[in-house]
Amino acid sequence: MVFIGFILAAAVTVFTAIKLSEYADVLSEKTAMGGMIVGTVLLAGATSLPEVTTSFSAAVIGNVDIAVGNMLGSNVFNLFILAGFDLYFRRKQIYHKASSNHKYTAYLGLFLMLLVSLALLLQIDYTILGIGVDALLILIIYIAGMVVISKMPAPPSSDDDESSEPVAKKRSMTVKQAIIGFIIASVFILAAGTMLSITGDQIAVITGLGSSFVGSFLIAATTSLPEAVSVFAALRIKNANLAVGAILGSNVFNMTILAISDAVYQEGSILADVSMSNIYTALGGSILGAITIWAFLRKRTSSVWVYSIPSILTVVGYFVITYLIYVGS
């Protein structure tokens, strides 16, 4: 029954994530926000809802390895998703199609991941109003960074980024309808993603894997399924800004979830009590984040394989990180 529930939840997640991308695409076209902001803020927040319930629930019951590992593992898996689709659509050169402004979100994500890595190494068990000082610093930097990013002008649209979705269908949907549909789809994503987390945890118990590995790999992968489907759907309708923004925005939003989970955890600083095996995920995620930034900063090239080098390194790095987490658990 557990496996059946997992498959059903995955099916609902796939369908709902596709609808989320369609509604987000309409909002990016018919509002002043543009694909980058809609992807980085709205779509990223909606697809990260399963991570919210998973990490909060784990923090409440005191399983800090699941709470922290889920967030860090989701960030690593998200970059793996983006790299995987970039290789699949390599001739489209996604990193060059998307706005160069995405590099600022990538910078913010890298900086937050480095802060988490430092917090894991130092393990400062000092709290203010029940929240660790490291978590508070992460939250403040996230808010400041997103304020700056949100004030950046929307990138001009190009013919390459125009959606292949039928124009008549887009024109018939109003902004209000898109907003309502987006909210409803977000609720379904939350429910389906929560079921994915529950069944994924039960499968992990059956297989007898460790909490750090379960949080960083299995549950992180299942709760990141909405991001994977949303990115694929966005790329199919040729909205590269929406796809890239969803991944990078989700990664910085996940760091906020990690910080807020500290407030839910009542036994001290969550980053001070977590297993040191999570350092592999944090440092590995930082390296993959740096590779992603490099992909944005590189000059254009006519060689598909030269262009694909960052994504190849990211995919290989993901499996190396996963192995290290498994050995260290």
46 token code pair: 């909606």
The stretch 226-236 carries a mean pLDDT of 78
Which of 66, 40, 72 has its CA nearest to residue 54? 66
Q: For residue 124, with 0-12 CB atoms within 10 Å meaning exposed, 13-18 middle and 19 or more buried, which class applies?
A: middle
Check residue 294 and give its pLDDT. Answer: 93
pLDDT of residue 107 exceeding 90 = yes
The stretch 217-226 carries a mean pLDDT of 68
The stretch 291-312 carries a mean pLDDT of 89
Split at pLDDT 50, 70, 90, the class of 80 is very high
The stretch 110-126 carries a mean pLDDT of 88
Check residue 39 and give its pLDDT. Answer: 58
Check residue 154 and give its pLDDT. Answer: 57
pLDDT of residue 168 exceeding 50 = no
Question: What is the C-alpha to C-alpha distance for residues 329 and 327, in angstroms, rounded to an integer?
Answer: 6
Other Cβ atoms less than 10 A from the Cβ of 184: the count is 14
Check residue 219 and give its pLDDT. Answer: 66
Half-sphere exposure at residue 223, Cβ-oriented, CA atoms within 13 angstroms: 36
Question: What is the C-alpha to C-alpha distance for residues 239 and 157, in angstroms, rounded to an integer?
Answer: 10
Check residue 127 and give its pLDDT. Answer: 77
Q: Which of 173-177, 285-289, 322-326 has the highest mean pLDDT?
A: 285-289
The yes/no answer on whether domain 2-328 falls in CATH 2.60.40.10 is no
Check residue 308 and give its pLDDT. Answer: 92
Mean pLDDT over the full length of the chain: 78
Please, which residues have CB within 8 angstroms of residue 291's CB and are 6 or more apart in sequence? 310, 313, 314, 317
Split at pLDDT 50, 70, 90, the class of 114 is very high
Which of 116, 150, 129, 161 has its CA nearest to residue 276? 116
pLDDT of residue 157 exceeding 70 = no
Check residue 214 and give its pLDDT. Answer: 53
Which of 221, 246, 226, 253 has its CA nearest to residue 108? 253
Check residue 268 and give its pLDDT. Answer: 78
Split at pLDDT 50, 70, 90, the class of 287 is very high
Question: What is the C-alpha to C-alpha distance for residues 286 and 107, in angstroms, rounded to an integer?
Answer: 10
Check residue 161 and give its pLDDT. Answer: 45
pLDDT digits (tens, 9 = 90+) for 16-29: 777 777 777 777 77
User: So where are the chain's domains?
Assistant: 2-328
Please, which residues have CB within 8 angstroms of residue 4's CB and are 6 or more apart in sequence? none
The stretch 188-214 carries a mean pLDDT of 66
pLDDT of residue 56 exceeding 60 = yes
By residue count, the chain amounts to 329
Check residue 329 and give its pLDDT. Answer: 60
Helix (H, G, I), strand (E, B) or coil at 196: helix
The stretch 67-96 carries a mean pLDDT of 87
Please provide the DSSP assignment of 277-322 as one string: THHHHHHHHHHHHHHHHHHHHSPP-S-HHHHTHHHHHHHHHHHHHH
The stretch 306-316 carries a mean pLDDT of 93
Taking only Cα atoms into account, the Rg of the chain, rounded to an integer number of angstroms, comes to 19
User: φ and ψ at 174, to 5 degrees?
Assistant: -80, 165
pLDDT of residue 286 exceeding 90 = yes
pLDDT digits (tens, 9 = 90+) for 171-186: 577 878 888 888 888 8
Question: What is the C-alpha to C-alpha distance for residues 62 and 33, in angstroms, rounded to an integer?
Answer: 39
Distance, CA of 321 to chain centre: 17
Please work out, in degrees rounded to the nearest 5, the angle formed at the alpha carbon of residue 312 by the alpha carbons of 282 and 7.
70
pTM here is 0.77
The stretch 296-310 carries a mean pLDDT of 88
Please, which residues have CB within 8 angstroms of residue 7's CB and are 6 or more apart in sequence? none
